[in-house]
Structure 1
Amino acid sequence: MGTLMLVLCGPEGSAEERDASSADPVTSPANSASAETSANTLLIDTSQSTVHFRIGLLFLFDARGEFETIEGRVDRHADGVQVHARIPVASASMDSQRWERMLEGPQFLDGERHPWIEFESDRLDPATLQPGEAVPGQLRLREVCQRERFVLHHLACSDASATAPERCELSASGSLLRAAYGMRSHRGALRNRIELKLDLVATGAPPSGVGPVSPEVPVR
């Protein structure tokens, strides 16, 4: 996995980057109050995480697909968790190759010039945040950075045990407006709204001394 960049919204929606491994990280105002809190870092498990999307068509059925790769981390603090995720545009999968080419092309996501979609959530408290409440954060798409709010479906974290690593699960959905990110083409065929459904699993390091599970050997 490449170096993960923190997504920071600058003035008037401009995007700024800071290396997540920097010794002096910069946090957004919404999270600065508890910036000094130490965190456990859990890595997003790509094999268990997906992002589904739906693009509304004006006269036909909606076009659906998914991004097959999502990478990043979940920082688990004493007062909540914060998601840092990014999605490679090239990982988009749809039923039609024609739709995939259009989605990744210059008039839509423009994957050649802008290969990543990035999201950084505000600090979320699994103990108090309930399904149906907002998951706010910063989304960067095509180098445009906007505040977005998703709807929470599920958020749970568990500590490491003798047999299982530390784990966090997040499920949320929401929508964004294409035009807000500079995607203004195909107005006669596509609706402005894109719907997203995020399901991610992040895990910590395996418990000490726990190795791969070996198949049982029958006793003779």
Structure 2
Amino acid sequence: MLLMLPLLAVANGTDYRIDPNRSEAMFRVRLFWLDKVNGEFTHIDGDVVPGPQPGSWVVNATIPVDSVTLPSTHMRQLLLAPSFFDVRHHPTIHFVSNPIAQAALDHGGALTGHLTLRGVTAPIRFAMEPVQCKRLAMTPCQIVLRGMLQRSTFGMTSDRLALSDSVDLNLNITLQPETR
């Protein structure tokens, strides 16, 4: 039998932390309108905590910008530079969801919230697959999110002729139950 996060949290006395070693954020951007560049952030940290309303949850995730991997070292250096992520001044990307009802976790749907990138906070919407966890088991759970953002919203306006403004952002977040 499968149950969702609140029932597990109550039954087991657990909190859910994002497992930084088994979670990832992938992005894809078009290059010269023909090719696509794929990258990945290999570290995500954070948690899923009870929201302000009964039966609601809030996802809180932080991604270190320097965990980005790309097909080439040159591309990685460009993305970490001031004209893109500006890792020196903005070393993290942060996402906080709006409270999400248990039913939305059970059935999937939209996960909305705010993304902070390069010091700019803007609303973002992800499509979320249903979240399911095995009852009474201390096994990891997955949250799979698919979204899109505009680089220009976050001040990344350089290389507009070479790179698309739209970026696909997909997250595979592994939640690890922790006993209180």
Equivalences for residues 56-71 of structure 1 within 5 A:
56-71=30-45
Structure 2 alignment gaps of length 5 or more: 1-9
Q: Out of 108, 111, 133, which is 1:135 matched to? A: 111
Aligned residues: 166
Partner of 1:11: none
Q: Out of 26, 34, 41, which is 2:15 matched to? A: 41
Letter in 1 for 2:100: L
Partner of 1:151: 127
Query: 1:84 and 2:60 equivalent?
Result: yes
After TM superposition, the score normalised by the length of structure 1 is 0.69
Equivalences for residues 44-123 of structure 1 within 5 A:
44-76=18-50, 78-123=54-99
Q: 1:171 to 1:123 in 2, by over 3 A?
A: same
Structure with the greater relative contact order (CA < 8 A, sep ≥ 6): 1 or 2? 2
Higher strand share: 2
Partner of 2:138: 165
How far, CA to CA, are the matches of 1:126 and 1:79 in structure 2? 6
Q: CA deviation at 1:41?
A: 2.9
After TM superposition, the score normalised by the length of structure 2 is 0.83
Letter in 1 for 2:162: A
Q: 1:162-209, CA deviations, whole angstroms, 9 ceiling, x for partnerless residues?
A: xx32754210111100111111100110010111110101122259xx
Return structure 1 stretches of 4+ with deviation > 4 angstroms.
none
Q: 1:151 to 1:103 in 2, by over 3 A?
A: same
RMSD: 2.2
Q: Is residue 82–residue 122 contact of structure 1 (8 Å, CA) maintained in 2?
A: yes
SS in 2 for 1:199: strand
How far, CA to CA, are the matches of 2:90 and 2:104 in structure 1? 36
Q: 1:79 to 1:194 in 2, by over 3 A?
A: same
SS in 1 for 2:26: strand
Partner of 1:30: none
Q: Out of 171, 174, 177, which is 1:198 matched to? A: 171
